[in-house]
Structure 1
Amino acid sequence: MLIGRTLSPGARIAAVLVLLALALTNLGWIIRDLNEAGRIVDVLWLWTGQPARADNGLWASSALDPQLLMVYVVSAAVVPRSGSTRGVVGTLGLLTVLLRLPRLWDSRVNVWPLEPGLATRVDVTTYGTLLLGLVLLVLALTARRDTASAAGRPDAEASGGTGTGPGGPPARPRRWRARVAGVLALALAGVATAWEVHWSVELSGDSYWDQVWGDRYLFFPLLGSPPGWIRWATLLLLLAVAGTALARAAVARPLGMTVAGLVAMGHLLTLVGLVRADYLQHLGSADTETHLTFWTSLTGLPCALLVLVLLLAREAQPPPPSPAGERWAGREDLAPLGER
């Protein structure tokens, strides 16, 4: 009987190597920006959304790079032993491709004055990152095996039937926790939708879509995505988390925890940026949009963390049946006393 699917040992090793390559790529560009910054703290302020200037006037990394760096490193440590490896790898492949995709049509490197070789390095990073993201997706979709045969193996039994071992099936979230997490994710998606309605009204038609698709004159880090694209990607991912959590799908745990973690870090950086901009000292003079931004992040941060915590708990799986028990399935009354 088909219990679940996970990655083979060889596919796990390949996934770890890809994740480490992605982490090192992000780390390299972060180090580049730290070297270009007049002060190291300027890079931190850039990640919070505050204006900061590099020595050559151009930044490569965005707030997503340190966040993805942490996710890649943690996932590389989890993949060798988790029963939800297929969901983890697929989620990170989807995130990598989705968040780097706008670089394919970004023409800023062709019109901005860049240091020699920088445009080439940006292009190589873009295509290499997208390729690695596609590799993760292919591994999640094709490099899989039936875990039903793992029932009698020591590694499956060592997981205690929880789906935590490499031979165990992926564990679903617990029932009431999944429902609460799904509702919270749906609420976060609703707030994100309200903000998109606001921006579509606030900005003219062309300006709004330039925020989504990018424009050669729109300033954001070279390896970053347009702000509107990130907002829409976050909205769609939150809807996916809500749907999978309410359905108690096995992928809800890796997808939900990853997306919730990124959303929480994004809200935290926004709050730090507002505090640094002396928002709390100028509450009376701040405009409505700034107030709404502050309260969105102040409430969104604990909501996202709660989604992560709720999906952390996995549903307990029954222990694998013994071969003797399988022989008498449905006829327990006829089984010898020692095999009942």
Structure 2
Amino acid sequence: MRQGFALASGARRVGALVCGVLAIVEAGWVAQDVSVVGGDGLWQVWAGLAVPVGGAPLNTSVVDAALIGLYVVTAVAAFRAVAAGAFVAVGVVTLALRAPAVLILGGQWDGSLGVQGQLVLTAAGEVLGAVVLLVTVVRGRRVMPGREPSPPRAAAGVAAGLLLLVVAGMMGAWQFSRMAGLDGTEQPPGFFWRTVTGGYLVNALLGTPFGWLSWSTVGLCAAAAVASMTRTPWARPMGIAVAWLLLPLAVPVLAATKLTAPTVGEFGAAFAVAAAVVVALLLLPRAEGPFGWRSDSFDPDEIAGFAGQDTLTMPTFGAYGGTYLDPPPPPGPPPGGAGYLGPGQSW
């Protein structure tokens, strides 16, 4: 029997609580933006089709919508005893997207608890929550026979990995071409470095700089591709989370696409969306729980109490030492009998 591992019930409750709190905090900032520009206006700003009145950026971007989706799904997956992979995937993605926001917002914070301070605390809290999820996985694991996240099938894992590698290669090549001026555009010195560090192209106060978002997604795609092709226990949740993350990069590009004359970047964005859908379909489990967990309902804390029992000496239900078709043994002698029959005797 395989020696897998599962998260203890306490660790799963901690992970679900962290994901729930992060989702509520993110939803609060989205609701605040809706109260300013309305639902339709928020979508247009997220898609890059409009700017708020006065030109000031909103608090959130489409990345926040992607994070809310990941937090909600992971909180649901936490009810599975083998939800460790979901916590790892969400923790890594959160660190990749929120670490620059802490540096950018923290460098401009004057220590007050106004909107700027609340944004700093939000970004720092999400980074802390991601660390808690990762620590929870490390500290809350319990070795359980046969209790491991189900890896993708060999063919599906290789196909998903190849698609993710193609997307990573396209995104990396596009970024290099822009940096080298091969796309025909000229930028001032240091422009692309500032897109990574937050000097340019930050479309929301909680937003991730475009350059950082692009390169971090390239790295996440490559890591998820390797996990899928090697069929590691984290392959399913990591691949699905990265596929979901590809949408924020593609939405602003596709929203402004002109079908009559699509550019190379627009074609790449469309391919990334299609690849994300295919990867998710390849990695989604069949007849199993969410995020690829085996659909068992046993709790490792409950099973641990039976670890010391010798189950090999316990009889199988309905069997009497032979096959299931063997008749049961004859009944014993009646009370008061000698325990055996002599010659010619009968009951």
For structure 2, the residue ranges without an aligned partner over 5 or more in a row are: 182-186, 289-293, 297-309, 315-320, 325-347
Give, in angstroms, the shift of residue 131 of structure 1.
Answer: 1.1
1: CA distance, partners of 2:265 / 2:286: 34
Match of 2:210 in 1: 227
Between the aligned residues of both structures, percent identity stands at: 28
2: CA distance, partners of 1:223 / 1:30: 11
Match of 1:208 in 2: 192
Q: 1:301 aligns with which of 245, 252, 273?
A: 273
Residues 9-24 of structure 1 mapped to structure 2, 5 A cutoff: 9-24=9-24
2: CA distance, partners of 1:337 / 1:69: 57
1: CA distance, partners of 2:313 / 2:240: 37
Match of 1:199 in 2: 178
- Label 1:205 to 1:308 Cα distance change in 2 as closer, same or farther (>3 A): farther
Match of 2:250 in 1: 267
The answer on whether the counterparts of 1:193 and 1:235 sit within 8 Å (CA) in structure 2 is yes
Deviations 1:228-257 (A, max 9, x none): 000011000000011011101110001001
Deviations 1:175-210 (A, max 9, x none): 111111111111111111111111211345511110
TM-score, structure 1 length as denominator?
0.78
Match of 1:41 in 2: 40
Give, in angstroms, the shift of residue 16 of structure 1.
Answer: 0.6
Instruction: Describe the SS at the equivalent of 1:58.
Output: coil
Amino acid at match of 2:194: D
The answer on whether the counterparts of 1:172 and 1:315 sit within 8 Å (CA) in structure 2 is no
Match of 2:345 in 1: none
Which structure has the greater CA radius of gyration?
2
1: CA distance, partners of 2:155 / 2:132: 35
The answer on whether the counterparts of 2:6 and 2:142 sit within 8 Å (CA) in structure 1 is yes
The answer on whether the counterparts of 1:46 and 1:63 sit within 8 Å (CA) in structure 2 is no
Give, in angstroms, the shift of residue 52 of structure 1.
Answer: 1.4
TM-score, structure 2 length as denominator?
0.76
The answer on whether the counterparts of 2:98 and 2:123 sit within 8 Å (CA) in structure 1 is yes
Match of 1:4 in 2: 4
Which protein is richer in helix relative to its size?
1
Match of 2:285 in 1: 313
1: CA distance, partners of 2:144 / 2:252: 41
Q: 1:121 aligns with which of 113, 118, 124?
A: 118
- Label 1:325 to 1:187 Cα distance change in 2 as closer, same or farther (>3 A): farther
Residues 99-178 of structure 1 mapped to structure 2, 5 A cutoff: 99-106=97-104, 110=108, 117-148=114-145, 168-178=147-157
2: CA distance, partners of 1:41 / 1:109: 32
Give, in angstroms, the shift of residue 82 of structure 1.
Answer: 5.5
| Residue 30 (str. 1) matches residue 35 (str. 2) | no
Give, in angstroms, the shift of residue 55 of structure 1.
Answer: 6.1
2: CA distance, partners of 1:184 / 1:56: 38
2: CA distance, partners of 1:175 / 1:62: 36
Give, in angstroms, the shift of residue 127 of structure 1.
Answer: 1.6
Deviations 1:5-37 (A, max 9, x none): 221101111111100001001101101111122
2: CA distance, partners of 1:137 / 1:205: 39
Amino acid at match of 2:154: R
The answer on whether the counterparts of 2:106 and 2:120 sit within 8 Å (CA) in structure 1 is no
Match of 2:303 in 1: none
The answer on whether the counterparts of 1:173 and 1:253 sit within 8 Å (CA) in structure 2 is yes
Instruction: Describe the SS at the equivalent of 2:180.
Output: helix
Residues 229-268 of structure 1 mapped to structure 2, 5 A cutoff: 229-264=212-247, 266-268=249-251
The answer on whether the counterparts of 2:105 and 2:116 sit within 8 Å (CA) in structure 1 is no
Could you say what the CA RMSD is over the residues aligned between the two structures, in angstroms? 3.0
State how many pairs are aligned: 294
Amino acid at match of 2:128: L
Match of 2:93 in 1: 95
